Amino acid sequence: MIAGLLLFLVLPLVIGGVVYVFRRWGTLSSLLSIGMTLALGITILALPLGQVVEFWGRQIVMGGTVSFLGRELILEDVDRVAIAFLYLTASGLFLLAWQVSPGTLLFPVGFGMLSLLSGSLLIRPLIYAVLLVEIAVAASVFALQDEGGRPARGALQYLSVSLLALPGLLVIHWLMDRYALTPDNTALLDVSAVLLAFSFALLMGSVPFQTWLPSVAGDSDPLASAFLFTVNHAAVWFLLLAFLETYPELIAGARFAPYASAAGMAMVLAGGVLAASQRRLGRLMGYGAVIDNGAALIAFGMASERGLALVLLGLLVRPFGMALTAMGLSGLGAACGHDVRVETVRGLGRRFPWSTLAFAVGALSIAGLPASAGFAARWALYRLLGPSDLVSVLAMVGGSLGLMVGVWRALSALLAEAEAEASTELVDDAPAEHDRWPRGLVVGLAVVASVVVGLSPHLLGPIAARLAGFYTFLAP
């Protein structure tokens, strides 16, 4: 009998190796990656927990506890949905990567990261989860560095910041063990809470540690950045929730709530102001991630199950905006030598309509424009917060408007007549997109999916609510 959850740790590593070998055949490796991530994502949702299933003459059982190198791997309902989300998001990103950069290292490295991040959701005690996330972060450097592109300084920053978060998260486990033995020593609890807050502030890019997000988005491979802002960030959020579920004493009495709200407000305001003045299109995606994380923290600061459901809904809809923006940036980057600035993209919109459409719809979705996927989560948050905390709602609207100003400036340049000699020279080398119907089809499908999710929040809302229901640390 095969323990099903081991498949989600071992199989991606094997497929990642195969994909790396077949990298030269871009379409083959892309389709293999898309198919396998899709299959694994659906499988983990479809297979019933605790029941034996026969597959190709082999018996597979999902759920329960499995011993791995002497440590426990536990698959519960919440992990099932979380792992499925990671794989399905990766599948969507791979689909877009197939169209813009089929030979990219994102495919093999992405599989390695999926294995590590899935492991981090399953393994106990949590110190091993933290270490697996850190290894995934370190491995992401290989995907973030655009082959032949500018040096990815953002990847260096990301790795440095994540490494600084590691000690705090590892020491919390020891401190809380001591606290369990000496419950009167509340200093241990206070130190643990401070370490937890500091470490996750680093990992989520909270102000003043937000600089790595725009740096990563600005000089790294756009789709790898989108992978990081969706898959990695989701794993970080699930890690935070696992910490709080394991050590509910850390947030007893919801004393974290005002700090989370304040941090969230600082993020949406800083992200909005900086995005409005940004001329590099890639960095707009990074500031979008800052704003989105800030909105999630504001929702988390509500210290209620509904607030948590909105955090998770935000995570579920984020890939639509990020993936589309990244695809647009990749297409435009190929046309202007990976230097995607307002000055260099002038007039490119007419020759690269699919990339321009993807960028516009994606970025506006991150900003939470009505009828886009991002709006589904943002509107629910506005409605829930409005009666009690209008200041936070205004801050979020302000942040979104700031991002929209940045996007508007980029779109104005993209749709303007090409005037600058320099940019025209760059464009002349790149083939136009008009006749690339597969790219148009993929972008069209992604745009339609984004709009459908934006107009029908009931598609993902119940999943987020169900996920939030699995967590008990906010229960009175």
Residues that bind another protein (CB under 8 A): 69-71, 127-128, 131-132, 134-135, 138-139, 141-142, 145, 147-153, 155-156, 159-160, 163-164, 166-167, 170-171, 173-174
- Comparing CB distances to another protein, the nearer of 88 and 169 is 169
Q: Residue 320: name the closest of 245, 372, 265, 254 by CA.
A: 372
Residue 115 Cβ, how far from another protein at the closest point, in Å? 13
Residue 322 Cβ, how far from another protein at the closest point, in Å? 23
- Comparing CB distances to another protein, the nearer of 333 and 457 is 333
Residue 74 Cβ, how far from another protein at the closest point, in Å? 16
- Comparing CB distances to another protein, the nearer of 121 and 407 is 121
CA dihedral 409, 411, 412, 417 (to 10 degrees): 140
Residue 145 Cβ, how far from another protein at the closest point, in Å? 5
Q: Residue 323: name the closest of 361, 274, 276, 292 by CA.
A: 361
Residue 224 Cβ, how far from another protein at the closest point, in Å? 13
- Comparing CB distances to another protein, the nearer of 71 and 306 is 71
Start-to-end C-alpha separation, the chain: 41
- Comparing CB distances to another protein, the nearer of 53 and 164 is 164
- Comparing CB distances to another protein, the nearer of 71 and 350 is 71
Residue 139 Cβ, how far from another protein at the closest point, in Å? 6
- Comparing CB distances to another protein, the nearer of 202 and 468 is 202
Residue 194 Cβ, how far from another protein at the closest point, in Å? 13
CA–CA separation, 209 and 356 (whole Å): 30
- Comparing CB distances to another protein, the nearer of 23 and 153 is 153
Residue 371 in contact with residue 454, Cβ under 8 Å? yes
Residue 85 Cβ, how far from another protein at the closest point, in Å? 25
CA dihedral 301, 302, 304, 310 (to 10 degrees): -90
Residue 150 Cβ, how far from another protein at the closest point, in Å? 6
Please provide residue 345's backbone torsions phi and psi, each rounded to the nearest 5 degrees.
-100, 5
- Comparing CB distances to another protein, the nearer of 148 and 208 is 148
